[in-house]
């Protein structure tokens, strides 16, 4: 075989191989929770994640998760509870999902059947797959400034995770940081009064793992079992 023909054969075979691989890749199917909400999903490395924030008002067994609007009632809670930012379920909640306290996520019943709230090790595995934790936050954040406050540094959403700046509810019952910050619970406890969470910020690209009061209200992304 002439060298030129051999090279063309190898190049063509390589292109066919990569083309075949890309064509076989398809997004995982959406999932529906017990409350009737449907969520897009995405595969990142060996993990399959929700590509939207959880917004269910029910546990997977069909029982209601207590909706807590009053600030003093929220601050005094040491049992499961949820809310939407500024208690606005119809507009803010539909876009950004709900905010849950740690007692709800630790129940093991807040995600649809076959899914769970990620452990801190699940989050760490995602961070490790993305690489440099100082810049990989941009791979998770929704790009542009439709929802994120400018400059939304480094955001390109190349993973398809589509993280939104859902804000948080502090343990004393006040809301903060819609459009510039998001925090996702893990199901892993840190000491008796705190839990682990992952956070992203509008002006940076760091993926941070920290601990917060179990009474705080954060977003939830479920991961497939």
- The string of pLDDT tens digits covering residues 114-139 is 999 999 999 999 999 999 889 999 99
Q: pLDDT at position 27, please?
A: 81
Domain assignment present for 1:
no
In a domain, 9, yes or no: no
Contact between 219 and 184 under an 8 Å Cβ cutoff? The reply is yes
Residues 6+ apart with CB under 8 A from 114: 31, 224, 225
Domain annotation covers residue 5: no
Q: What is the pLDDT of residue 13?
A: 35
Q: Convert the pLDDT of each residue in 71-101 to its tens digit.
A: 999 999 999 999 999 999 999 999 999 999 9
Check whether 4 has a pLDDT greater than 80. no
Return d(Cα 23, Cα 17) in angstroms, integer: 10
C-alpha to C-alpha distance for 158 and 1, rounded to whole angstroms: 42
pLDDT > 70? residue 2: no
pLDDT in tens, 29-79: 999 999 999 999 999 999 999 999 999 999 999 999 999 999 999 999 999
Confidence of residue 25 (pLDDT cuts 50, 70, 90): low
Q: Which residues, listed in sequence order, are joined to residue 134 by a DSSP beta bridge?
A: none
**Predicted pLDDT at 90:** 94
Domain membership flag for residue 10: no
Local confidence band at 18 (pLDDT 50, 70, 90 cut-offs): very low
Overall domain count for the chain: 1
% of the chain surpassing 70 pLDDT = 89
The residues that bridge with 199 in the sheet, in sequence order, are: 183, 208
Domain that holds residue 111: 27-224
pLDDT number for residue 92: 97
């Amino acid at each position: 075989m002439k060298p030129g023909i051999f090279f063309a054969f190898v190049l063509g075979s390589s292109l066919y191989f990569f083309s075949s691989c890309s064509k076989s890749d398809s997004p995982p199917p959406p999932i529906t929770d017990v409350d009737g909400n449907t969520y897009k999903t995405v595969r990142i490395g060996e993990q399959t994640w929700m590509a939207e924030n959880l917004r269910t008002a029910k546990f997977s067994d069909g029982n209601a998760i207590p909706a807590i609007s009053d600030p003093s009632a929220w601050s005094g809670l040491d049992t499961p509870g949820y809310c939407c930012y500024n208690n606005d379920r119809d507009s803010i909640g539909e876009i950004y999902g709900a905010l849950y306290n740690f007692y709800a996520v630790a129940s093991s019943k807040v995600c649809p059947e076959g899914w769970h709230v990620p452990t801190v090790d699940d989050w760490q595995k995602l961070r490790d797959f993305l690489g440099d934790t100082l810049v990989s936050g941009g791979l998770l954040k929704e790009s542009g400034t439709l929802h994120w406050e400018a400059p939304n540094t480094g955001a390109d959403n190349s993973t398809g995770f589509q993280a939104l700046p859902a804000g948080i509810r502090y343990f004393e019952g006040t809301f903060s940081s819609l459009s510039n910050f998001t925090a996702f619970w893990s199901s892993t406890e840190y000491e008796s009064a705190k839990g682990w969470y992952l956070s992203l910020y509008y002006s940076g690209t760091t993926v941070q793992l920290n601990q917060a009061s179990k009474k705080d209200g954060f977003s939830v992304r479920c991961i497939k079992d």
